[in-house]
Amino acid sequence: MESQQNDHLSKKWIHLRRILERPGPFCSPSFVASEQHLEFLMKTCKILVIGAGGLGCELLKDLAYLGFRDIHVIDMDTIDLSNLNRQFLFRRKDIGSSKAQCAAEFINKRVPGCVVTPHFCKIQDYDESFYRDFHIVVCGLDSVVARRWINGMILSLLVFDEEGSLDQSSLIPIIDGGTEGFRGNARVILPSITACIECNLDLYPPQVTYPLCTIATTPRLPEHCIEYVKIIQWEKENPFGVALDGDDPQHLSWVYERAQDRANHFRITGLTYRLVQGVLKNIIPAVASTNAVIASVCATEVFKIATSCYESLNNYMMFNDVDGIYTYHYESERKTDCLACSNVSRPVIIDDPNSMTLENLITYLCENAQFQMKNPGLTANINGKNKTLYMSAVPCIEERTRPNLTLSLVELGLVDGHEIMVADQTSPNTITIQLKFAIHDSEME
């Protein structure tokens, strides 16, 4: 009986054995064919998949059929009817259930021996000890903020010796995939060695973000009014006793009416019901075939890195099948002043510190393509004391620091070359920016 089971396993993984147990002309120079490679995949290698949506479902299926047996998946979302046309691990009966849990259950039943462990939560709910346990992290996300956060977390796990040399055992590769319609991309990130997410942040179109200080105190656009109702009024009034649902007509009507009242108060025009829908839902188009292509590329890169059988992608690949099929890959360069993977503070050029207020600086950090922050909190050392300039995350601190928003940088006591510590939800770590005044001290007097 045991010999029959072994024979079955041998036949099941014959396609992998042909790659891992014999050399070939395209193998990596450091590759040594051995039975131990498949054994490592099945008994030791631990993979984390972030996201169980259209891309995540494909990734879980591909990784399971590539021999990985210890897979964890994180996703905070539940299944919606609109997901079923492309997220093939889910069925109608699963609507309303956790994506991570349903995806794990499906794979565990379909692929004997594979154990997928679900985590129905945010990636921010776990600390360093959780992420340190994995050999490779694979991202199937639709959020730039989440990508930046996990990028910062993995970078924080790196260990360097006294001479600044990286301890290779602390390096956890990140394989990142992304799709939008008929376009997609895949990248291989070796933290502190190759370009990270932050190094190429300007590749992503800046996400539409509205600083809380702006929407709360000086709204200028109809979108500001909608965001105010969404973030502040809904939570405060809790009109229906549930979380805001962008697909619920009653919820949409309530938000529209309150946003219109606020727009009228501030004499803002252009607010429509359709605009409310657009701001609340922020829909990204998805195509099943594109997800399948990008997931297969990402899974192949995981396999190559885990076994060293072939050289991995160096380090960015783009895919486009709008008109025919087109792929292109190139080496994305690492930035020497990257906010995340370097220890150098990023300079911020200030034209006139007398007229630029703290609110202007926060807006700049949110709207600039190189920063793309969401809700930054700023702290600086002024006259030898650490001072919180503004922080919206804690209501009592936000109320106390709100008057600083209208003060100029000079009035706050900030000078040319001043370093400011910035905390934001896009990163688990605090980053540093350095003010560079374009005018001299004599001109400021």
Per residue in 253-282, pLDDT tens? 999 999 999 999 999 999 998 888 878 866
Statement: residue 1 has pLDDT above 50: no
Mean local confidence (pLDDT), 333-349: 84
Mean local confidence (pLDDT), 81-90: 87
Q: Which residues are catalytic?
A: 213
Q: Which of 409, 422, 405 is nearest to 218 (CA)?
A: 405
Which residue type occupies 205?
P
On average, the pLDDT of the chain sits at: 88
Q: What is the pLDDT of residues 120-176, one digit of tens each?
A: 999 999 999 999 999 999 999 988 889 999 999 999 999 888 777 888 889 999 999
Per DSSP, the three-state class of 310 is coil
Query: Which pTM does this prediction carry?
Result: 0.79
Statement: residue 430 has pLDDT above 80: yes
Cα(78)–Cα(59) distance, integer angstroms: 18
Residue of 101 and 394 predicted with greater confidence? 101
Statement: residue 285 has pLDDT above 70: no
Name the helix (H) or strand (E) containing 270: none
> 34 phi and psi, to 5 degrees?
-165, 155
Least confident of 80-89, 211-220, 260-269, 295-304: 211-220
Least confident of 63-67, 138-142, 235-239, 293-297: 235-239
Mean local confidence (pLDDT), 294-321: 94
pLDDT, residue 281, reads 67
Strands 183-189, 136-140: pairing kind: unpaired
Least confident of 12-26, 153-167, 208-222, 245-259: 208-222
Which residue type occupies 266?
F
Which residue type occupies 158?
L
Mean local confidence (pLDDT), 323-344: 86
Mean local confidence (pLDDT), 373-394: 88
Residue of 341 and 98 predicted with greater confidence? 98
pLDDT, residue 208, reads 62
Cα(439)–Cα(436) distance, integer angstroms: 9
pLDDT, residue 257, reads 94
Q: Cβ(323)–Cβ(68) under 8 Å?
A: no
pLDDT, residue 389, reads 93
Q: Which residue is associated with the tokens 């990734």?
A: 59
Mean local confidence (pLDDT), 341-352: 85
pLDDT, residue 442, reads 45
